Structure formats: C-alpha cells, structure tokens
Amino acid sequence: MTPVGLQHYLVVSVLLFCLGLLGVLVRRNVLVIYMSLELMLNAANLALTAFSRFNNNLDGQIIVFFIITVAASEVAVGLALIVALYRRRHTTHVEDMTALKN
Amino acid sequence: MNPAMLSLELAVIGLALAVLLIDLWTLHEFKHRLGYLAAAGLLVILVASLCCASTGEPPATGFSGMFVQDGLALFFKRIFLAAGVLVVLMGVEFRDRIPMGLGEFFTIILMELAGMMFAASANDFVMVYVAMEMMSVSFYILISFQRSRSYSLEAGVKYLILSALSAGLLVFGIALIFGTSGRTNFAVVAAEGTRLAQNKLFCLGALLVLLGLAFKISAVPMQMWAPDVYQGAPTPVTAFLAIGSKAAGFVLVLRVLFVAAPALALHWGKLFTWAAALTILYGNLCAIPQRSLKRLLGYSSIANAGYILLGVAALNPPGSVAVLYYLAGYAFTLAVIFIVLCLVARDSDDIAVLAGLNRRSPLLALALTLGMISLAGIPPLAGFFGKLLLFKAVLEQAAVHRSYLWLALVAIAGVVISYYYYFGVIRAVYWSEEGPEMTPIAVSAPLKVSMGVCIAAMFYLGLCPDAVLSAAAKAVQALRF
C-alpha cells in the first residue's frame, strides 16, 4: 500500500472545492449556498495544510488561521443578514429574490 | 519594522473607534454631527497624507514584507480618503432614510476605508485576502443598512453570496500559489517568476486570484452583482462601492499582475483584451434599456471597469498611468453624480424623478449634467482625458500586436453606445415633461462645497492633467513590465 501523499490530499481538496462550487451553482436555498461557500474555503484550508506539511513550511498553516478567523467574522455578519431577510420576506429561496431586476 | 508606516491606516481606525465611542454619548437628534466629525477627521488625514506623510520614495516595506508604502499605495490612499470624505458627507444628507444606527453607519464606512487603504499597500497574498475581506464584510453591513427596505436586504444577501464566492476562488488560488512557490510574498514569488510561469498549477492559482479580484472591479465574468447591488444599496454606499471598491480592486490587480507575476502577465495579454472587450460591450449594451438611475450607473460602472481594463491589458507603463489617472477622475465624477442622486432620488430612483430638475435646482441639474458629460468622455472634463490616455496606451501596443486594434475599435464602439444613455439622463433633466413634484430642493452647505470641489477637480484633471499625470507616472514605478 502506498503511503498517503500530497496528491491524495490535493485530490480531496479539489473534490471538496468542486462540490462547494457545484452547491453554490445548483442549490436554491441561501443557507445551503452559504454552507457550500464554507466548503470551498475549507477545501482551500485543506490544500494549504497539506502543502505546508509536505513542503516543510509552516506559513501555510498560519494562513489557515487567518482564513478561519476571517471566515468566522464573515459568517457572523452573513447569517445575521440572512436572518434579517427571512424576517422581512419569510423565505430564504433565491427564486424569491426578484425585487431587484431589469 | 516601522509602525509609523501604518500612520494613515491607524489614524483612520482611531477615528472610527472615536466616532463609535462618541456615538454612545450623543443624543439621537445630534447623531449626524458624528458624520461631520468623521468627514473633518478624514480631511485632516488627507491633508496630512498630502503634505507630511512620507512620499513613498524610496518604497518602504514592513511586517515581514507584507505591507509596502510606496508611491502607488499613497496615490490610491489619497483617492480613498477623498472618496471617504465625500461618502460620509453624503451619509449625513442621507440620515433621514437610515432608521437607526447612524453612528455605526459612519464607523463602518471608516472601517471600510481602512480596509481599502490596507489593500492599496498589500504586498503579500495573505494581505490581499485579509484586506479584501475587511472591505467585503463592511460592505455586507453597509449595503443592507436600511433593514426596513427589502431592496436593501436583498442587495446585501446577493452581495454576500457572490462576494463569498469570489473570496472562495481567491483563497483557493492563494493555496495553489503557496503550494507551488512555497511563499506568498509578492517579491519572493516574482523572483521565481520565470520558473513558476511554466507551472500549470501556479497559472491556475493566479487565474483564480484574478477571478476573485474581477469581482471587486465588476469585470466580466464576475460582473453579475453590480446592477442589483447598486440599485438596492443606500445611495452613499453605492457611491463608495463604485468609487472605492473598484479602485481597490484595480490596485490589487495591478500589484498581482505587475509586482507578483510580471513573467505571467506577458503571456496573458490576450486574456485581458477579451475581458476588457466583453466587459465594455456587456456594460454598455445592458445599460441602454434601464429606467432606474442607480441600476443604470451599475451597468455604466461595469462598462467603465472595461475601459480601465484597457490600461491593464495594454501591459505597458502608459497603460497603468492611464488607469491611475482615470480612477482619480472617475472618483470625482461619480461623487458628484451620487451627491445629486442622494438629494433628488429620495423615494424612487426612476429616471422620471429628474423631470424638471433644472427648475427645481439649477445647481443640481448643472452638476448632474457635468458628471454625465465627464462619464461619456466629452472634453474638457476628466473623463475625456482619461479615455484618451487609455486609448493611446492600447494603440501603442497595437503597433506590436494587431489584436489590440480590435480592442480599441470595440472600446470606441462602447463609448458611442454610452452616449445614448448618458444623454438620456441629461434629456430627462432639461427636456422632459414636468413631474408632479416641483418644489425647489434645498442643498446643505457642506454638499454645495463638495459638489463645487468635485466639479473643480473634474475641470482641473481635464484641463491641466500634468500634476496628476506626473504623480501617476511616479506611482507606477513600483510596477515592472
């Protein structure tokens, strides 16, 4: 059995990234879309950690901390915004967000 | 490391915290004075940056090379500070439409401004990410600040989703760049540029980073959000999005392309010509049928991103000088237009609200007309000279690659199309049927002064561009071509 190498981690990371992107494009619920976006960020985190581990360079893991911190603040604001929209419109579906259009 | 390098940013953040604190002891009816306080503070910082702060010569780096203070950074910081003053004053005018949290509104504008200033000094991909998110998160709040209006909330959620998507692309791009180069510092990545330019993974990473930045400048293929968000956001915030966020996106594009990956930029001329051509055509063609003024400006902002991309696509120093010059003129032009919209488009921003504006307030009618003329690119205003410089840079490059000739033709076609909708606005001001509302509009003194300053700046940039041009030429020395 071959040991788990950099490629394995990267394949998983790319898969996660593509799943997240797919989720953003096809799902219709804002909350699920937002979850998919977090998946994309975590795919990047995984790639950074793996690169960091296999290149013996800890910078990548520090970047991951930055990303986690910033993503947390983004979620705090983002979820508040989605809740505010839900209170006003009683929906979180993107099809219902059609007040702004040509 | 020299903390004095951060003095401008620290001053803005200090001002933001001061406004937040003083807000606690301010009665509701005096809250708008916080806006005057913030504007005055920003004005002091702007003047300080013009006379006392270091000139950026020689460029200084700090914080392990993450932060750079050079001519390019200072040029953009001055644009941001000037935009900040104007946006805060617009916010004061807008106060009756912000139900609560006026103090926080000004604080978050200042935080946003600090994020833009950090972006101008970014010299590391991590810094790019953090500065971009500082801008984005502040904008989520600002765009949806009118929580009682469902337009505002919807615009906020749309911006949230698409901005987070662009951040996801950016971060994954940074991960790939880190993985292939082992570093995220621009200078270190550039040093290995020729080797990395052969690496497919690195190229993909750089492409993803540029896609993430394309969101901020609202260029094709990340332009979808602009019209919706411009329409839904409170008018001062729309102004800040159009002026500040776009300029911050462009300084990052210039830095990533010409500081971090100059070897790659050489091969990517074609990519940028396509992006510029498509952005110009998309923005101009979609703007034609618009009735909502802010939506119209959203499409116009996409078209302008396309024009500015001409300067990036030219891949030469005159192109980058033109980008800087154009952004400076664009800031004042848009500021004057949005000040007029703040005052006139109160309940609706349909183009019909402009009916009879020349009799309700000749000053506002004149200001709006001059703004539209500058955007359309008619001499002698700033917009004309900026477009001239951009076209000149592209034509210089056309001597080398013939494809640039097509780009110039597309751009000229775009300008001609844009006359239709810009003059549609002017026609609505002077030659439309009189609207139901014909009361004169009172303009507060600070806004009168800011409109005067913006108009003077538009004429100054258009008639005697030498001073700004030489500043821009010094600023682009930070870039390598």
* pLDDT tens string B388-419: 999 999 999 988 888 899 999 999 999 999 99
| pLDDT reported for residue B53 | 57
| Mean pLDDT, residues B68-80 taken together | 93
Contact list in B for residue A77 (CB cut-off 8 A) is 137, 140-141, 160
Q: Beta strand B60-62 with B67-69: parallel, antiparallel or unpaired?
A: antiparallel
- Quickly state the pLDDT bin for B330 (edges 50, 70, 90): very high
Is A102 in CB contact (< 8 Å) with chain B? yes
Contact B184, B125 (CB under 8 A): yes
Q: Which of A44, A89, A101 sits opposite B175 (nearest CB)?
A: A44
Task: Report the C-alpha gap between B26 and A45 in whole angstroms.
Answer: 44
- Residue B54, pLDDT > 70, answer no
In a domain, B418, yes or no: yes
Compare all CA atoms of chain A with the CA of B154 and give the residue at the minimum distance: A97
- For A36, name the nearest residue in chain B, comparing CA atoms only: B165
Q: What is the mean pLDDT of residues A10-17?
A: 96
Closest to A81 in 3D by CA, of A26, A33, A23: A33
Quick one: what percent of chain B has pLDDT higher than 90?
74
- Residue B13: inside a domain: no
- Cβ atoms of B396 and B390 within 8 Å: the answer is no
Domains defined for chain A, CATH in brackets = 6-97 (1.10.287.3510)
Structural domain boundaries, residue B435: 279-481
Residue A99: band (very low, low, confident or very high) from pLDDT cuts 50, 70, 90: confident
A59 has a chain B CB within 8 A of its CB: yes
Residue B370 has pLDDT above 80, yes or no: yes
Which band of pLDDT confidence, cut at 50, 70 and 90, is reported for residue B85?
Answer: very high
Judge whether B402 lies within some domain.
yes
**How do residues B422-448 score in pLDDT, each as one tens digit?**
999 999 999 887 777 778 888 899 999
Residue B337 in domain: yes
Whether the bond between B236 and the residue before it is cis, its omega within 30 degrees of 0, is no
Q: Quickly state the pLDDT bin for A50 (edges 50, 70, 90).
A: very high
| Residue B57 pLDDT exceeds 80 | no
* Alpha-carbon gap: B228 to the closest alpha carbon of chain A (Å): 6
- Across the interface, which of B147, B164, B175 has its CB nearest the CB of A48? B175
Residue B58 preceded by cis peptide, ω within 30:
yes
Q: φ, ψ for residue B468 (rounded to 5)? A: -70, -35
- Note whether B476 and B324 are within 8 A (CB): yes
Q: How many domains does chain B have?
A: 1
Of B155, B161, B167, the CB nearest to A100: B155
The per-residue pLDDT of chain B, averaged, comes to: 92
Q: Assess if residue B309 is contained within a domain.
A: yes
A66 in reach of chain B (CB within 8 A): yes
Radius of gyration of chain A (CA): 17
Residue B406 domain-assigned (yes or no): yes
Per the domain annotation, does B50 fall within a domain? no
Q: Is residue B79 part of a domain?
A: no
Would you say B114 and B135 are in contact if contact means Cβ atoms under 8 Å apart?
no
Alpha carbon distance B477, B69 (integer Å)? 13
How far apart are the C-alpha atoms of A42 and A23, rounded to whole Å?
A: 14
- Give the closest-approach CA distance of A40 to chain B in angstroms: 6
| pLDDT the model gives residue B203 | 93
For residues A22-36, average pLDDT: 94
